[in-house]
């Protein structure tokens, strides 16, 4: 059994912003499936969330990163 550990970090680049994290665990029957899932969801560098496409007040620039690691259990 293999477990994919996902850590998501979100940070707003503004005086009113903040930082949020979450951790999720997903089980896979073998290493190949776990590694494939990790490669699909990981964001190795910080990415930027898109701005509001409907106009109005735009949210502050927000960055996120997703770390995905497989571990054998």
Digit-coded pLDDT (tens) for 28-55: 999 999 999 999 999 877 777 666 666 6
% of the chain with per-residue pLDDT over 70: 77
Q: Helices (DSSP H) in 1-73: which residue ranges?
A: 31-41
How far, in Å, are 2, 20, 47 from residue 59 at the CA level? Answer: 38, 16, 15
CA distance 64 to 46: 5
The pTM is what?
0.76
- For residue 71, the model assigns a pLDDT of 97
- Cβ–Cβ under 8 Å, residues 17 and 11: yes
Local confidence band at 8 (pLDDT 50, 70, 90 cut-offs): very high
Q: How large is the average pLDDT for residues 54-71?
A: 78
């Amino acid at each position: 059994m293999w477990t994919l550990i996902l850590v998501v970090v979100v940070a707003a680049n503004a005086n009113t912003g903040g930082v949020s994290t979450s951790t999720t665990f997903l089980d896979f029957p073998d290493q190949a499936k776990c590694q494939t899932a990790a490669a699909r969801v990981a964001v190795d560098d910080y990415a930027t969330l898109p701005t509001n496409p409907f106009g109005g007040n735009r949210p502050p620039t927000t960055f996120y990163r997703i770390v995905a690691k497989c571990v054998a259990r």
